[in-house]
Amino acid sequence: MLDSVLIIEDSWFAAKLLRRVLQSELRVECVVASTYAEAVEHASRTDFLAALVDLTLPDAPPGAAVDLLADRGYPVVVVTAELSDAVQQLMWKKRVAEYLVKDELFDPRYLVAQIGRFQRNRDIEVLVVDDSPMIRGYTAGLLRRHRYQVIEASKPSEALEVLERNPRVRMAITDYNMPEMDGCALTRLMRRDRAREEFVIIGISAQGSAEVSARFIKSGANDFMHKPFSPDEFYCRVGQNITMLESIRAIREASLRDFMTGLYNRRHFYDVGKAALDRARKARTELSLAMLDVDKFKAVNDSHGHDAGDAVLRAVATLIAEESGAGATTFRLGGEEFCVLVEGAGRQELGQRLEHLRAALEAKTIPAGDKNLRVTASFGGTSELHGSLDDMLRAADQCLYQAKDSGRNRVVLAGSVEPARAESHAESEGSRS
């Protein structure tokens, strides 16, 4: 179900612009009210992702719509043509989540980024550590206003217990002066198992000296704020640090993915596979590895062109990613060759899964330009925990050769067939496709 955004705006042109930008960029449903009376009709809903509110409406005093929505549990973003210090302070008193200036320099991209931030924040857990219930509650309230998932801790030992139980926490905001240990000591303990590019720590303190800020940073914090901090500063620092985490994660993820198909690449196969093999040995659980190769793929390129070949590879990748089943991780090893790694599956289950993939691909019609193509693939697999991941890969590869040699479009598992005919890898390369 699409997220919904409430737009309260008396300008038809501005409302149309906001609606068009949000729907095209974020695929959200937009509900528009042009008057305070219309806003009242929608105010009973609590399922809006956010509300964009014009400060001045023709049928109500300035700010009335903000008051109407402030306690509804979702972020309220004020869109105003005027931004004075008095208006700014009024907005924070009314507990808005953000404000935007509607002038000739208004850039809808910032609005899109902010609403997108609210969407992603629902999956981001933040730990707030402060022995003052008032400050802790204030900080947590600011975070919840931007839809972060907040966990509170009143002392360092409680914070460490939270992190041990919940590795999904992405950020900690910690005070300096606390019982048991100060915030810098807590930062060092939190940083031992969590790198800066994976976990953000922001220190806060009422002590205004530069030394406290430096101590936090040297202890492993990503950032520091002096108390009392304004909501503006708070949201800017928290948002920028979370965006940094997301950017680093996106860069890392891109380096592990095959550009054409979106599957994990050969490099990541070895990282994931070696770890899975170690787990299987230690826990004495099952692990299976399978390879598949598109049959006669060169003929697809020769007959229909490389664009059609690329369409086939993407279709095969999508199918195996969606149909390989629980515990499976899929990779493109290169060319028309793919790999499926399945944790917790033995030989019988592997055979069933591969037969399902084989039949699904055989039945699939693949659009390629003005043509519809049909292809098949051959599969080879093993469930024997060999000496190394390379040994498992070679065993699956040998079975794949046997599947090709015995007619293609079939599944061969280690131990289920006679040894492949004796020929070298180089000699069989030409007949493999």
Burial category of 254 from C-beta neighbours within 10 Å (exposed 0-12, middle 13-18, buried 19 and up): exposed
- Token representation of residue 117: 């931030």
What are φ and ψ of residue 338, in 5° steps?
-125, 165
Query: Residue 362's closest CA among 375, 371, 381?
Result: 375
**Pair 96, 69: CB distance under 8 Å:** no
Catalytic site residues?
336
Cis status, amide bond into 108, omega within 30 of 0: no
In sequence order, the 6+-apart residues with CB closer than 8 A to the CB of 350 are: 288, 290, 342, 381, 383, 413
Cα(246)–Cα(252) distance, integer angstroms: 10
With 0-12 CB in 10 A as exposed, 13-18 as middle and 19+ as buried, what is 157?
A: middle
